[in-house]
Structure 1
Amino acid sequence: MLVSHVPFNKTAINNVIPNATFITILRHPVAAYESIFGFFKIPRILHIHYAANEDPFKMFLSDTDMYVKLTKNPYYMTLLKNRQMFDIGLEPKNYDNETLVDHVIQQAAKDFDLVMIAEYFDESLILLKQLLCWEFGDILYVHQNTRSDKLRFKIDDWKRQRILEINSADYKLYQHFNETFWHKVKAYGDNFYEDLKIFRDMLQKVLLECLDKGRYVIDYANRRNRTLLKDGAPRYCTQIDRSGFGEIAARQHVQTPENNTHV
């Protein structure tokens, strides 16, 4: 398996893993954008000066073009507009070209065997299990890499609208694959929700037997809360915790486009 935060390039990946199965994950642009702003500490990067009672996210959204122009680092430039479309393969100069936006979306629909949806993560894992011929035990996870509340920003109707305007290509991408996602759920068959219930019962068992919710560590520049296992937890808990799958899942700025994936 090759699991990496990279803009998608099918030709390049085929050189590494021929005949690969391609999987990515999308997150609603509003949630993804707020996550990027908090997780990457954009106010500090863009030198947004604000008082204790001011909202730096609102300041940024009020004059986004000005702040983007102040960004010298090309990597951070890609974070501030349509990052998920960038990860799928659209160049920033083409964000406003509806024809190219549609072309990249249609090409992604052909290239990816499964596009997971972060807001329906458990449902996505059921589809992943079916696609890869896995067992329920292969998709168990624990939540990791959760942002501190200090790095979160409230979203009101005005912010939501502004975010969708700034990330219109991302929104179009998300709408397309959110629709096709439910077509895959329907195609799965009548036992989809039965399997989903079985899986969620197993996740609840993991939560009760494995995790000590009262204990966690904050590291990675005060950006990561890592829940610890209970003392004397069953051996399988350690295997799930060490697998890294939960941490990959939690980022959701993914392609894995935090993310892909951050929570």
Structure 2
Amino acid sequence: MPKDNSWMFTHKMPFKSSMAAELTPEDQTYHLFTFHSKWNYFEMKNLLPEAIFSTILRDPVNCFESMYVYMNLQGRYKMDINEFARKNASTNPSRLEGWNVGKSQQLYGLGIPEELLDNSYYIDKKINDFDREFDLVMIAEYFDESLVMLADIMCWNLREVRYLKQNVRKKEKKIAMSRETVEILSEWLSKEYQVYNYFKAKLEMAMDRYGRERLEKDVAKLREMNRKLREECVLQVADNSLLKGEFKMVLDIVEGYVINSTIPWCADFARTEPAYFNLLKKKQTNSLD
């Protein structure tokens, strides 16, 4: 985890092992790396030499729309995403200074320099690198299928990948994109689609090897586990006006959960990322019993 009190590593530069908080004398090695960072395989491999590496990609247009709202880019640009697509996308606006968000955010997060985001030769090379570096690239549009594949690679029971959806925007905070906007952004993000489509196809092949009938059954099992989890743990889906403490969301535009406090383990599924960071920081610094 980061040395400072942020629950993510900087996005201004690729990750370096020196950015990680030092281990306590009782610890011998790091076990997990789960915080936001700019991908740097060799530095991460240095910290976790035996690790299995996984990441997730999302349809680039849907990812950009989500980021546009979540990061309040409509406020920064003084226009909604449809107007942005018509007026700004073709001009290739530079990444917002100090925000580190913008075009092809997923590629930027994977360590590709901004000046090379549209370089076809470089993107082809990085696809080969990512293919070698990641044991699994999950796809958000196949989220449950990806979790089943992850559980298989990690030799986990499916119970280990149960979840409640986090950071889901309120309905009124989702923007309806016109067909023209989708077409413009798809072309603008074409190199991001190049990476996304490659790993989507690779996941499809992995799903074939797993066995489609077997996969369908395991996805059904996971979804039933999620249904029971929600039934047992969630008293109410709510916004921040009803949420407190470790369940209060970072932004008011998303929803969280009022959790059944009579079942202690339910809290693990609904904590926010900052709350989990604080919990893990205490554990790593050996101040948690």
Shared fold per TM-score greater than 0.5: yes
- The CA deviation at 1:147 is 2.1
Structure 1 unaligned spans of 5+: 51-55, 249-263
> Within the alignment, does 1:148 sit opposite 2:177 as a pair?
no
Distance 1:67 1:81, change over 3 A: closer
TM, length-normalised to structure 1 = 0.81
Q: 2-side partners of 1:72 and 1:195: how far apart?
A: 42
Distance 2:92 2:112 in 1: 22
| Stretch of structure 1 that moved more, 102-111 or 87-96 | 87-96
| Paired residue type of 2:81 | F
1:120 corresponding residue in structure 2? 142
Q: Tell me, what secondary structure is at the counterpart of 1:25?
A: strand
1:73 to 97, 118, 122: 97
Mapping for residues 226-241 of structure 1, pairs under 5 Å: 226-230=256-260, 232=262, 234-241=263-270
In structure 1, how many angstroms separate the alpha carbons of the residues matched to 2:156 and 2:83?
46
The question of whether the paired residues in 2 share the 8 Å contact of 1:81 and 1:167 is answered with yes
Counterpart secondary structure, 2:93: helix
The correspondence of residues 18-167 of structure 1 with structure 2, limited to 5 A, is 18-46=49-77, 48=78, 56-64=80-88, 68=93, 73=97, 75-76=99-100, 79-167=101-189
Q: CA deviation at 1:74?
A: 5.1
1:217 aligns with 2:240: yes
Q: Gaps (5+ residues) in structure 2?
A: 1-31, 242-248, 278-289
Q: Which has the higher contact order (CA 8 A, sep 6+)?
A: 1
Instruction: Give 1:21's aligned amino acid.
Output: I
Output the CA distance in 2 between the equivalents of 1:183 and 1:191: 14
Distance in 2 separating the partners of 1:67 and 1:177: 25
Q: Partner residue of 2:222? A: 199
* Separation in structure 2 between the aligned mates of residue 187 and residue 162 of structure 1, nearest angstrom: 36
Q: What per-residue deviation string (whole Å, max 9, x for no partner) do you get for residues 30-56 of structure 1?
A: 11010010000002223x1x6xxxxx2
CA RMSD of aligned residues (A): 2.4
Residues of 2 paired with 1:20 and 1:231: CA distance?
35
TM-score, structure 2 length as denominator? 0.74
User: 2:92 and 2:115 mapped to 1: Cα distance?
Assistant: 18
Q: Percent identity?
A: 25
1:216/1:228 contact within 8 Å kept: no
Q: Deviations over 1:164-212 (max 9, x none)?
A: 1111111111111110011111111352221111111111111222212
- Matched residues in 2 for 1:164 and 1:74: separation? 26
Q: For structure 1, which segment, 210-219 or 141-150, has the greater mean C-alpha deviation from structure 2 after superposition?
A: 210-219
Post-superposition CA distance 1:209-243 (Å, at most 9, x none): 221235443543423321112464x4442343359
The Cα offsets for residues 70-116 of structure 1, whole Å up to 9 and x where unpaired, read as x650543xx22111112223212112221111111121111100001
Q: Which amino acid is the alignment partner of residue 61 of structure 2?
A: V
Q: CA deviation at 1:121?
A: 0.8
2:164 counterpart letter in structure 1: V
Within a 5 Å distance, the mapping from 1:1-16 to structure 2 comes to 1-16=32-47
Structure having the higher helix fraction is 1
Instruction: Count matched residues.
Output: 235
Q: CA deviation at 1:123?
A: 0.7
Could you tell me whether the CA contact under 8 Å between 1:143 and 1:227 is conserved in 2?
A: no
Output the CA distance in 1 between the equivalents of 2:55 and 2:175: 26
Instruction: Quote the offset at 1:4 in angstroms.
Output: 1.8
Letter in 1 for 2:216: Y
